[in-house]
Amino acid sequence: MAPDSRLNTLWLENRGKVLVLSALILLCALLYAGRIFFLDPDLARAKQNVGRLEIELRQQQQRIADGGGADVAGLAVELQNFYAQIPPPEGLGEFIGQLYALATAAGIDIAQVNYAIKNLEDLPLFAYQLSFAVSGDYQQLKKFIHLLENSPSLIIIDQITLDSAGQKNAGSVRLQIQVQTFFREATS
């Protein structure tokens, strides 16, 4: 039998297998090319980034071991200074007095202050949520909010609601306000 006839017979008897084998070889070649052109460069960049981060980590660890932990110590001092500026728990009465003084400076009155205490997890602080209402004209209320925002106390204004319904004076507005302030936990 001639070699051409053998190939011809092989082709005729195993055409499906030859096509599948050819398709698999082509698929392997495409996957290899995709790996070379797409995955390998990404992998190389990722390895470079990991290497760079490992070097930075070793440098930071060395700085801390060599006494370069001054940065961390400096942050600790700043945090202590911040906590020192927050009043002790006995300061609530003084804070409410400041609220009344700010209202008086704005020309308005606070009738009643309601408050609730809230513990803050993982912090040596607790928060007081205060709620109160004031009435006055728009300029007075604007001045009060300005004074409140510029108060030396740490205050977060959580909610403000303006309402003109039910006011005796046509230019009068009622302001319902919720604020939050913070105090240190009592040290034993």
pTM: 0.56
When pLDDT is averaged across residues 80-88 and rounded to a whole number, the result is 79
Helix (H) or strand (E) holding 134: strand 125-137
Distance CA(181)–CA(188), nearest Å, equals 22
pLDDT at 48: 84
Q: Give the residue-averaged pLDDT of 8-22.
A: 82
pLDDT band with cut points at 50, 70 and 90 for residue 105: very high
Burial of 156 (0-12, 13-18, 19+ CB in 10 A): exposed
Find the domain containing 122 and state its range.
87-184
| CATH code: domain of residue 121 | 3.30.70.60
Provide the token pair at 58. Answer: 């070793």
In whole angstroms, what is the distance from residue 18 CA to residue 12 CA? 10
| pLDDT band of 12, cuts 50, 70, 90 | confident
Residue 108 and residue 58 in one domain: no
pLDDT of the residue at 106 = 94
75 belongs to a structural domain? no
Helix axes 3-13, 15-34, angle to 10 degrees: 80
User: What integer is the mean pLDDT of 59-88?
Assistant: 74
Q: Is the pLDDT of residue 72 over 90?
A: no
pLDDT at 52 over 60: yes
Instruction: Report how far apart, in Å, the C-alpha atoms of 54 and of each of 41, 66, 93 are.
Output: 20, 18, 53
User: Average pLDDT in the 22-47 region?
Assistant: 82
Sign of dihedral through CA atoms 44, 49, 50, 52?
positive
At residue 140 the predicted structure's pLDDT band, cuts being 50, 70 and 90, is very high
Alpha helices by DSSP H, 14-137: 15-34, 40-63, 70-85, 92-106
Distance CA 122, CA 135 (A): 38
Residues 48 and 97 in one domain: no
Q: What percent of the chain has pLDDT over 70?
A: 90
Structure tokens at 97: 């007095």
Instruction: Give me the number of domains the chain comprises.
Output: 2
172 plus 137 within the same structural domain? yes
Per-residue confidence (pLDDT) for residue 68, from 0 to 100: 58
Residue 70 counted as domain residue:
no
Q: Which two tokens stand for residue 25?
A: 């070889």
